[in-house]
């Protein structure tokens, strides 16, 4: 008589979703109480001008539409490629095309957005999504390499285009500089929430039919058209008048000539690299040794944790006992490094791994708006896009090298790749520590207004 060994598929406890949701709600509702004790203006204050409130929520609506489009493409990942009969090596090559494109395009697009206007670059983002969706909708076998390039360009613009558009318009409309804090953490919060919503939406559109399902592409065509229309009619922008020569001189003086911006840029680079390594390796790490896991159910846990982490930003920086942003970032980067090092060098059960990954994303949710705040303190708005695009280039180069060595040649283990991410996070912590000492006279006086 044979022995039958039953295999179970690991799933997170449903109470985990409820716990993260309730924590987010409690953090959001406690924030105005703690802020009012310190008489700090918040998005919940009734005294905030209606013009700023309208500007903020119009931007968040625009950013949410863009986030849903980005999220819809990332839902299926390699499952969609496998449905076209594409093998592992071709998938790795596709990743290389994407990161290679981003490596060279990020600095160019950043400078271009400062010169021709951030609104126009964001319109290009909508056009790229529209073309890609149209391509997939009407072609039986779309070119995965051209699709990867288009989506990589769109993702690069998404990384800095909408933030720079918001910040420059915020300044031109004369809103209070410290009110940017609320918009920064809400961007991270809404982006994560929209990524979760896009997963639910995409799975509802596809249902049980994964064979050449055009419903997600049709939805993105509609969303891209809506976003393009809303952006072109609802937002006005006066492009910069500086010539390329004048811009280059200013960029060299303020960006290359200021060691504080160098430190901030390297901290952004290291974070971008570590997040990229995480999203490439988290699924293989979880299913190592043949473990069966419902990966799609873990995705909302990570993003929900990032939402929760973003709510910590206003509590720590605007409450009655607020801390300096650089101090908080030093500890946040060190915690990220410790979490990633545990995953890299110590075999863990699935439950422990999920907990570590959720803590990782909670720290990321705090770091993203914190870095955005520091950019507004140290980087001139006229050069913000170029600085952010430039900081993405070395991160994309490092990720591309990691994909080639680990995924194509297979001569570097996943643990080593994560170790590089740990070193990058520790380097970022050192950058923030140095910035704390050297950044006593920022470009903008944050408390001026």
DSSP string spanning 162-182?
HHHHHHHHHHHTT--GGGHHH
Spatial distance between the Cα atoms of 163 and 160, rounded to a whole number of angstroms: 5
Spatial distance between the Cα atoms of 394 and 375, rounded to a whole number of angstroms: 18
Q: Select from 448, 280, 270, 264 the least CA-distant residue to 372.
A: 264
pLDDT band at 16 (very low <50, low <70, confident <90, very high): confident
pLDDT digits (tens, 9 = 90+) for 373-396: 999 989 998 899 999 999 999 999
Q: Select from 272, 267, 373 the least CA-distant residue to 314.
A: 373
**pLDDT value, residue 365:** 95
Owner of token pair 């039958």: 4
Instruction: Write down the mean pLDDT value for the chain.
Output: 83
**pLDDT value, residue 346:** 75
**pLDDT value, residue 2:** 43
- Which of these ranges, 106-110, 265-269, 443-447, has the smallest mean pLDDT? 443-447
Coil, helix or strand at residue 293: strand
Looking at domain 49-234+243-438, which CATH architecture does it have?
Up-down Bundle (1.20)
Is the confidence at residue 448, as pLDDT, over 70? no
Question: Is the overall model pTM greater than 0.85, yes or no?
Answer: yes
Question: How buried is residue 374: exposed, middle or buried, by Cβ count under 10 Å (0-12/13-18/19+)?
Answer: buried
Question: Tokens representing 356?
Answer: 């570590």
Spatial distance between the Cα atoms of 256 and 116, rounded to a whole number of angstroms: 22
Count of beta carbons in the 10 Å neighbourhood of residue 46: 5
For the segment 324-350, the average pLDDT, to the nearest whole number, is 89
Is the confidence at residue 344, as pLDDT, over 90? no
Is the confidence at residue 266, as pLDDT, over 80? yes
For the segment 10-36, the average pLDDT, to the nearest whole number, is 72
**pLDDT value, residue 447:** 38
What is the distance, to the nearest Å, from the Cα of residue 329 to the centroid of all Cα atoms in its chain? 17
**pLDDT value, residue 41:** 46
**pLDDT value, residue 4:** 40
**pLDDT value, residue 1:** 39
**pLDDT value, residue 32:** 52
Q: Which residue has the higher pLDDT, 124 or 78?
A: 124
Q: Select from 421, 435, 316, 313 the least CA-distant residue to 367.
A: 313
pLDDT digits (tens, 9 = 90+) for 228-243: 999 998 888 776 667 8
For the segment 423-447, the average pLDDT, to the nearest whole number, is 76
**pLDDT value, residue 58:** 92
Q: How many CA atoms lie within 13 A of 427 on its CB side?
A: 19
**What are the structural domain ranges in the chain?**
49-234+243-438
DSSP H or E run through 68: helix 50-74
Is the confidence at residue 40, as pLDDT, over 50? no
Asked whether 274 and 424 are in contact (CB, 8 A), the reply is yes
**pLDDT value, residue 209:** 61
Residues in a beta bridge with 293:
10
Question: How buried is residue 367: exposed, middle or buried, by Cβ count under 10 Å (0-12/13-18/19+)?
Answer: buried
């Amino acid at each position: 008589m044979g022995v039958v060994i039953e295999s179970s598929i690991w799933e997170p406890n449903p109470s985990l979703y409820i716990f993260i949701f309730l924590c987010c709600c409690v953090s959001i509702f406690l924030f105005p109480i703690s802020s009012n004790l310190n008489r700090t203006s918040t998005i919940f204050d009734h005294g905030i001008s209606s013009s700023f409130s309208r500007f903020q929520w119009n931007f968040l609506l625009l950013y949410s539409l863009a986030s849903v489009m980005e999220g819809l493409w990332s839902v299926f990942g390699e499952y969609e490629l496998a449905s076209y009969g594409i093998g592992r090596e071709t998938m790795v090559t596709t990743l290389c095309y994407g990161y290679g494109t981003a490596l060279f395009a990020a600095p160019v697009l950043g400078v271009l957005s400062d010169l021709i206007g951030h609104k126009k670059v964001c319109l290009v983002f909508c056009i790229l999504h529209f073309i890609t969706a149209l391509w997939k909708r009407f072609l039986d076998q779309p070119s995965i390499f051209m699709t990867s390039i288009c989506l990589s360009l769109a993702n690069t613009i998404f990384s800095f285009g909408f933030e720079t558009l918001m910040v420059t318009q915020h300044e031109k409309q004369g809103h209070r500089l410290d009110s940017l804090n609320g918009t920064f953490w809400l961007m991270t919060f809404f982006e994560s929430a929209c990524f979760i919503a896009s997963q639910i939406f995409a799975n509802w559109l596809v249902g049980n039919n994964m064979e050449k399902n055009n419903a997600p592409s049709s939805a993105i065509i509609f969303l891209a058209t809506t976003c393009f229309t809303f952006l072109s009619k609802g937002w006005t922008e006066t492009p910069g008048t500086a010539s390329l020569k004048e811009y280059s001189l200013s960029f060299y003086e303020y960006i290359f000539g200021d060691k504080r911006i160098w430190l901030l840029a390297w901290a952004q680079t290291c974070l971008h690299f570590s997040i990229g390594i995480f999203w490439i390796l988290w699924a293989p790490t979880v299913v190592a040794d043949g473990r069966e896991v419902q990966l799609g159910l873990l995705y909302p846990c990570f993003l929900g944790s990032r939402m929760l982490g973003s709510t910590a930003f206003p509590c720590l920086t605007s409450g009655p006992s607020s801390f300096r942003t650089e101090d908080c970032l030093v500890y946040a980067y060190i915690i990220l490094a410790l979490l990633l090092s545990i995953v890299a060098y110590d075999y863990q059960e699935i439950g422990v791994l999920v907990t570590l990954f959720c803590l990782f994303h909670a720290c990321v949710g705090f770091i993203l708006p914190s870095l955005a705040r520091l950019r507004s303190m140290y980087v001139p708005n006229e050069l913000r896009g170029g600085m952010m695009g430039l900081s993405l280039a070395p991160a994309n180069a490092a990720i591309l090298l990691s994909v080639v060595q680990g995924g194509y040649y297979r001569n570097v283990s996943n643990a080593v790749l994560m170790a590089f991410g740990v070193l990058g996070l520790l380097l970022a912590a050192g950058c923030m520590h140095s910035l704390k000492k050297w950044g006593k006279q920022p470009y903008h006086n944050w408390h001026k207004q």
